[in-house]
């Protein structure tokens, strides 16, 4: 998952898994919070989400979960501009 900031900086995020499910963290929120922590006054412009599995064929892209959608929406309001979401499956 990659998050493009307004000034061209790219922040990467990945799922942080934990055996005590659901204590892990999705890639989207990892990247958003990293971006806001390191660049609090720079707008988030686009995020590209990909999915891949070594165990099965992924036939369609997977959008963010509800918690990530809420976080994205709140940052859009905070920065007064949308964050474009791009989805892809790798297969």
The set of catalytic residues is 28
**Spatial contact of 52 and 1, defined as CB atoms under 8 Å apart:** no
* CA distances in angstroms from 33 to 6, 69, 79, 82, 89, listed in the order given: 15, 13, 14, 16, 24
């Amino acid at each position: 998952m990659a998050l493009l900031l307004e000034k061209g900086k790219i922040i990467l995020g990945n799922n942080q898994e934990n055996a005590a499910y659901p204590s892990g963290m999705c890639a989207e929120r990892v990247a958003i919070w990293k971006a806001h922590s390191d660049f609090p006054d720079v707008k988030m412009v686009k995020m590209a989400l990909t999915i891949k599995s070594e165990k099965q064929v992924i036939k369609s892209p997977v959008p963010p979960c509800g918690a990530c959608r809420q976080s994205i929406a709140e940052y859009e309001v905070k920065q007064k501009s949308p964050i474009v979401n791009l989805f892809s499956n790798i297969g």
